[in-house]
Structure 1
Amino acid sequence: MNIKRSLLPIATLALLPALTSCADVPQKPAPLDEAALAAVTQNAGAPTQELAREVDDLFSRDGLGETRALIVMQNGEIAAERYGEGYGPDTRMISWSMAKTVSAIMIGMLVADGRLSLDESARVAMWQRPGDPRGEITLRQLLQMRSGLRHTEAGDPPYQSSEVRMLFLDGRDDMARWAKEQPLEEEPGAKFEYSSNTSVILADIAARALTTSEHPDARRQAVADFLEARLFGPLGMDSMVPEFDASGTLIGGSLIHGNARDWAKLGEFLRRKGSSPGGEQLVPSRWVHAMITSSPRSPHYGFQTWLNHPLDDPEAEHPLFPDRAPHSMFSLIGHMGQYVIVSPEQHLTVVRLGHSNREERIAMLQEVADVMKLYPVR
């Protein structure tokens, strides 16, 4: 019998407690590099190292997609700011559906001016013909995505999507007309259905409230001038570039370009309930309140704005994270991972711009929640 060989298993077993103990020792995180530390300002309102690490995770962790810009603002001051390679403070980035919230603000200003009415039949001429049931659709229902118009936001294959057809195929030259021509598939007000086409109808209604001209250039100029004078200019959002279709309608559901700092200014404007940094009330505070109030058909949606309210079905996928942040939180959300997240109870605005697919967005939002948890509810 080989005594040495027979003792090997016993020796190995004797070492197991020590090996297990070593495995249980928490691994010290790798030191942060200069770029990570430089992203955090002196008045961050959170522990510098912790905030820097959470921000760094959004840029360095696998499975989150590409973060191109991140800004954290607390109490109106930049707490952290970082950009991916090839991007910077002056880089304009596409809004995608974050534009919808801009459209809602514009509508709110026109309602406050007395040019539009929230609960009367929406001002769409073709719907006012005798016997047309679409004449029952109100501006409020359009804002809350419950018009009842036939719509498929995401089709498979893509050309079956109503949004794709409007933006790129048979509706592209006059997007609002194409969207307005759709028949009802539900009673107005009965059902929530997210629709980028509805937002273009809202943009067209705004244009017609601002000018009687049908000329594309006149329509384009009227809306661009209004947004600059009433919103972008007073907030110092100098980078904003809205896009229009060939008929002069703002593509108000998806195409406004701006840099991350300007998107953060818009979030702060909403956090301040519609006032400028100097205190001027640009849109009534009651309108902002309406924007972030659940509609009768969707607890997580207000006026063209996503809410952090829990869904009735706890198993349903939520676009935000009501289990990890105050339910008063709300957000602009754009395709492929564009977010302006506002948490009034934390005095917080977070902007994340980039490119993430569905699975990556779900994971990325948990990292954003990790950033936000560093700030207490007040």
Structure 2
Amino acid sequence: MPPRLLPILAAALLPVLCACNATGGAEDLPPPSDESLASVAKGDAGASREGLARAIDGVFADDVGETRALVVMHDGKIVAERYAPGYGPNTRHVGWSMTKTVTGVVIGMLIADGSLALDQPAPLPRWQRAGDPRADITVRHLLQMRSGLRHAEDADPSWSSDSARMLFTEGRSDVANHAETQPLDADPGKHFTYSTASSVILADVATRALTTSDNADDRRDAMAGYLHERLFGPLGMASAVPEFDAHGTFVGGSMVHATARDWAKFGEMMRQGGVASNGVRVIPRSWIRFMTTPGPRDPAYGAHVWLNRERPEGRDPVLFPGQASDKLFAMLGFHGQYCVISPEQDLVIVRLGISKGEEQDRLNEAMAALIARFPAS
């Protein structure tokens, strides 16, 4: 499910950025909390220690919701780390839609292996029947949320949305079947529609590339093995736990659980262009470049990652366009899950917790202020 992130008002954010600039200088502001000061590593953190701690206080403020974990990595090292009471470095957190980026990377790995092709029709038997217009949907379309399939990500009440019905009610035992039996609402490739179903379909496509078996255990074992051996293992993400439905399909739009540190390791791999911290390349740099290139129907979305770009008229900003580098990109999840990657600042920030409604607008401002503490390298 997509994060419900509301527009940032530049006039409201500007005083924060001016008071908390990357060089420090906040004599007229209250001192940071002891908790946030203690969370900042001693030595060179890449930013003013007090200024960074003050910005961390903003991310843990009551009016942004419940922040449970925050990890800040600069130049590949953790420079700040804070947890709410009851949470810690070993606590797993569900990524929600941050999981989509994991699925996007898996698809890239399979393309690099020669098991899939970016512009081939999605290899799903039910779509290849004579006369089925869904045969024109390609892997690229699904990655860029341009499938044309009917889908309502959000609804009122929330339980009536297509994503909720797929994940939690009638579709939950076979999420791929639910997603793949939807009709077209538009010609493939013509329109952007953010869709958890697209990620579920890609997870099924990936599974079919790994095994021809339709047995649930075989499907689950094939995908779990690939994830751990080819991705989580090389990245050192020992805590990562993917979820599967009763048919053995990886719930690739929303269901990977991992610690904040392990989510940060994934973000650092993305910042490094596909290379793990141990020097192992897990994905070609060209694939990360593709994922972070604006899509043709919404420049704020690449291929299963959000980009810090302005959106077409009528669509709310998602990240911080105009307030941070347009090279910044992010994995985002329901209720305010963030893994922000800023290559120009050598920066990865993970925030995990629960924020709702207007809290998410204030959280977005707090995250922008935290990012602004770090100068471009």
TM-score, scaled to structure 2: 0.91
**Alignment correspondent of 1:161:** 161
Aligned twin of 2:52 = 51
Is contact 1:91–1:259 with CA below 8 Å preserved after alignment? yes
1:260-271 aligned at under 5 Å gives the runs 260-271=260-271
Contact 1:340–1:351 (8 Å) recurs in 2: yes
Q: Distance in 1 between matches of 2:158 and 2:351?
A: 26
* Aligned twin of 1:124: 124
Partner amino acid for 1:281?
R
Q: Which residue is 2:147 aligned to?
A: 147
Is residue 302 of structure 2 the alignment partner of residue 302 of structure 1? yes
State the partner residue of 2:97: 97
Q: Which has the larger radius of gyration?
A: 1
User: Partners of 1:31 and 1:158 in 2: how far apart?
Assistant: 41
Shift in Å at residue 349 of structure 1? 0.4
* 2:63 partner SS: coil
Secondary structure of 1:212 counterpart: coil
- 1:197 maps to what in 2? 197
Deviation (angstroms), 1:279 = 2.2
* Residue 187 (str. 1) matches residue 187 (str. 2): yes
CA, structure 1 residues 159+356, in 2 after alignment: closer, same or farther (shift >3 Å)?
closer
RMSD: 1.3
Name the counterpart of 1:366.
365
CA distance in 1, matches of 2:47, 2:171: 49
Give the secondary-structure state (helix, strand or coil) at the position aligned to 2:288. Answer: helix
- Tell me, in whole angstroms, the C-alpha distance in 1 between the residues paired with 2:48 and 2:307: 28
2:12 is matched with which residue? none
The CA deviation at 1:327 is: 0.4
> Which residue is equivalent to 1:62?
62
Identify the residue that residue 178 of structure 2 maps to in structure 1: 178
Unaligned runs of 5+ in 1: 1-25
Q: State the Cα deviation string for residues 243-300 of structure 1 (Å, max 9, x = none).
A: 0000000000011100000000000000000011132221110000000011110101
Letter in 1 for 2:228: E
What pairs up with 1:340-359 in 2 under 5 angstroms? 340-359=339-358
Matched residue, 1:12: none
Residue in 2 that maps onto 1:376: 375
Partner of 1:324: 323
CA deviation after TM superposition for structure 1 residue 27, in Å: 9.0
CA distance in structure 1 between the partners assigned to 2:373 and 2:179 by the alignment: 43
**Distance in 2 of aligned mates of 1:288 and 1:199:** 17
Q: For the Cα contact (< 8 Å) 1:310–1:327, is it kept in 2? A: no
C-alpha distance 121-316 of structure 1, shift in aligned 2 (>3 A): closer
Deviation at 1:120, TM superposition (A): 1.1
- Would you say the 8 A contact 2:96–2:337 is kept in 1? yes
Counterpart of 1:63 in 2: which secondary structure? helix
| Structure-to-structure mapping, 1:220-299, within 5 angstroms | 220-299=220-299
| 3-state SS, counterpart of residue 72 of structure 2 | strand
- 349-358 or 154-163: which moved more? 154-163
**Displacement after TM superposition at 1:28 (Å):** 4.7
**CA deviations over 1:96-132 (Å, ceiling 9, x no partner):** 0000000000000000000001101111110000110
Q: Report deviation, 1:37.
A: 1.1
Determine if contact 1:291/1:305 at 8 Å carries over to the other structure.
yes
For 2:219, the equivalent position in structure 1 comes to 219
Partner of 2:5: none
Secondary structure of the 1:269 match is: helix
1:58: how far off?
1.5
Structure 1 letter corresponding to 2:330: S
* In structure 1, distance between residues paired with 2:27 and 2:232: 48
Report the Cα distance in structure 1 between the residues aligned to 2:369 and 2:209, rounded to whole angstroms. Answer: 43
| CA shift digits 1:183-205 (9 cap, x unpaired) | 10100000000000111000001
CA contact (8 A) 1:294 1:302 kept: yes
| Identity %, equivalent residues | 50
Can you list the C-alpha shifts for 1:65-96, whole angstroms capped at 9, x where unaligned? Answer: 11111111110011111001111000000110
| CA offsets 1:119-152 (integer angstroms, 9 cap, x no match) | 0111111000011000000000000001000111
**Structure 1 position 316, deviation (Å):** 3.8
2:73–2:348 contact (8 Å) kept in structure 1: yes
**How far off its partner does 1:318 sit?**
0.9
The higher-RCO structure (CA 8 Å, 6+ apart) is 2
Alpha-carbon distance in 1 for matches of 2:220, 2:129: 27
* TM-score computed with the length of structure 1 as normaliser: 0.91
**Equivalent residues of 2:33, 2:54 under 8 A apart:** no
Shift of 1:159: 3.8
Q: Does 1:338 align with 2:337?
A: yes
**Helix, strand or coil: the match of 2:149?**
coil
Residue pairs, 1:9-48, within 5 angstroms: 28-42=28-42, 43-48=44-49
Q: Number of residue pairs matched?
A: 351
With over 3 angstroms needed to count, the CA separation of the structure-2 counterparts of 1:191 and 1:316, relative to structure 1, is: closer
Is the 8 Å Cα contact of residues 94 and 257 (structure 1) preserved in structure 2?
Answer: yes
